[in-house]
Amino acid sequence: MPKRKSTHAEESAAEPLLRRSSRNTKAASAIPANEDASPARSKAKKATAKPDADEGKTDKKTRAPKKTKPEKVVEPAEKEDAELPPSKKSRTRKQASKVEEPVEEEASTSENEAKPPKPKSAPKTKSKSQTRDASSSAAAAKGDGDGQSSERNYWLLKAEPETRLENGTDVRFSIDDLAAKTEPEPWDGIRAYPARNNLRAMNKGDLAFFYHSNCKEPGIVGTMEIVEEHSPDLSAHDPKAPYYDPSSKPSDPKWSVVHVKFRSKFPVQIGLKELRAMGTPGNPLENMQMLKQSRLSVSKVSAVEWEYLMGVAKEKGKTANA
């Protein structure tokens, strides 16, 4: 068998190898750690670093939200018209007005259809009292038979034309006596409240019939005018007067007088019998106060009654003169 070599020989042979390896390690330690040992390694590092950058980029793309396109904002028609040339502006405006006109017409027609037509008001009809007042005022406007026309009240006053003594005094007074007076005559001696109230209702300018009463032929004989309105009847305070009333005091007079003036005397009087015939139902004097209250010495006369009686007196005068 061959003999084995000794260990000393193996160590001596290995020394050069160890020295080389130690040199190499020293040289490797002398190179800085942050620098690459060789250009090949740096290239390798760059090659390996690129995929990391790419990976970062891909992550950013995936994480970033998708950008949406902004919506187009429609600008008002005024801006569009401002951008258009003048000729196009006028065309567009005309087209817009043509399109809008039918809408306005439809709206107006719908409003007219929605509103019902206003009902026509019925003509106003006059009541009976209004027509009666109108007829009386129309008759009053015609006049008093002497050519004068005005809105006045009418009356009938009674007096006794024949002699009669009252408290020792003759109370006779006729239409001729009134005609002979040069001053307004006080119509005194009224001692009934309805007659007195009629006296107080008289106004200056009113007209009255002169009626002869308590005689052979009573009736209307003429006309007179109220020239002074009512005042206290002083004869009621005089003990010698025919119609003295001790209950009436000067501080608180009960009775009143009006002053009258002659106007006319009828050629022919209208007698009481004729008046009663005219006062039957359906005739002009059916509502005459004197015929309804025959004992009343001062009574009202309507304008229609006044005109009618003045016409009767005129016709009677023509017949008498014929």
What would the 3-class secondary structure string for the chain be? CCCCCCHHHHHHHHHHHHHHHHHHHHHHHHCCCCCCCCHHHHHHHHHHHHHHHHHHHHHHHHHCCCCCCCCCCCCCHHHHHHHCCHHHHHHHHHHHHHHHHHHHHHHHHHHHHHCCCCCCCCCCCCCHHHHHHHHHHHHHHHCCCCCCCCCCCEEEEEECCCCCEECCEECCCCHHHHHHCCCCEEECCCCCHHHHHHHHCCCCCCEEEEEECCCCCCEEEEEEEEEEEEEECHHHHCCCCCCCCCCCECCECCCEEEEEEEEEEEEEEEEHHHHHHHCCCCCCCCCCHHHHCCCCCEEEECHHHHHHHHHHHHHHHHHHHC
**What is the structure's pLDDT at 266?**
98
pLDDT band at 2, cuts 50/70/90?
very low
**What is the structure's pLDDT at 172?**
97
Q: Kindly list the distances between the CA atom of residue 218 and the CA atoms of 7, 34, 161, 198, 316, in Å, as whole numbers in the listed order.
A: 203, 166, 9, 21, 16
CA distance 187 to 178: 10
pLDDT band at 320, cuts 50/70/90?
confident
How does pLDDT run across 56-99, given as a tens digit for each residue? 444 444 455 555 555 555 555 444 444 455 554 445 454 544 44
Contact 232, 200 (CB under 8 A): no
**What is the structure's pLDDT at 295?**
94
In sequence order, what are the residues at sequence separation of 6 or more whose Cβ sits closer than 8 angstroms to the Cβ of residue 166? 242, 243
Q: Residue 52 pLDDT more than 50?
A: no
CA distance 262 to 159: 14
Which tokens hold the place of 124?
A: 């106003």
Share of the chain above pLDDT 70, in %: 53
pLDDT band at 53, cuts 50/70/90?
very low
**What is the structure's pLDDT at 322?**
77
* 213 in a structural domain: yes
* 289 in a structural domain: yes
User: What would the mean pLDDT of 200-220 be, rounded to a whole number?
Assistant: 97
* 281 in a structural domain: yes
Q: The domain that contains 254 carries what CATH number?
A: 3.10.590.10
User: What would the mean pLDDT of 149-176 be, rounded to a whole number?
Assistant: 93
Poorest-confidence range of 48-52, 69-73, 211-215, 245-249?
A: 48-52
Number of domains in the chain: 1
Contact 254, 197 (CB under 8 A): no
Q: Residue 190 pLDDT more than 80?
A: yes
**What is the structure's pLDDT at 261?**
98
Q: Residue 126 pLDDT more than 60?
A: no
pTM summary value: 0.56
* 192 in a structural domain: yes
Q: Residue 246 pLDDT more than 50?
A: yes
More confident: 146 or 220: 220
* 159 in a structural domain: yes
Residue 105 CA, chain-centre distance (Å), reads 32
Of 23-27, 66-70, 136-140, 193-197, where does the model show the most confidence?
193-197
Q: 274, 271, 306: which is closest to 288 by C-alpha? A: 306
* 258 in a structural domain: yes
The range of the structural domain enclosing residue 311 comes to 151-321
Indicate the average pLDDT of the chain.
74
* 283 in a structural domain: yes
